[in-house]
Amino acid sequence: MASLSEATALRLARAAAAMCAAPVPSDHDKAFMARALVLATLPHRDPGNLPQWQRKNGRLTLTIRPFVASR
């Protein structure tokens, strides 16, 4: 196993300390994310004007189409 550099170990220690110091989230702050969305992920920026957006991860395919309201 490779050892961590001193700078990396310090960054990890600071991150761990920040997580321990953070308040416990309330039920209002907690969220649920479906397994399919975790595996396929959603776009992190606007993909533009597309008829559909699709992401594949192994055998899982997530396709999202915009909702078009009828008149």
Q: What is the pLDDT of residue 10?
A: 94
Q: What is the pLDDT of residue 13?
A: 94
**Is 53:43 a contact under the CB 8 Å cutoff?**
yes
Query: What token pair was written down for 65?
Result: 């189409």
Nearest to 65 by CA among 44, 49, 51, 46: 51
CA distance 66 to 55: 15
Q: What is the pLDDT of residue 7?
A: 92
Domain ranges within the chain, ordered by starting residue: 6-64
Nearest to 64 by CA among 52, 51, 56, 46: 52
Q: What is the pLDDT of residue 15?
A: 92
pLDDT of the chain, 71 residues: tens digit per residue: 578 899 999 999 999 999 899 888 788 777 776 776 666 677 778 888 888 988 887 888 888 888 777 76
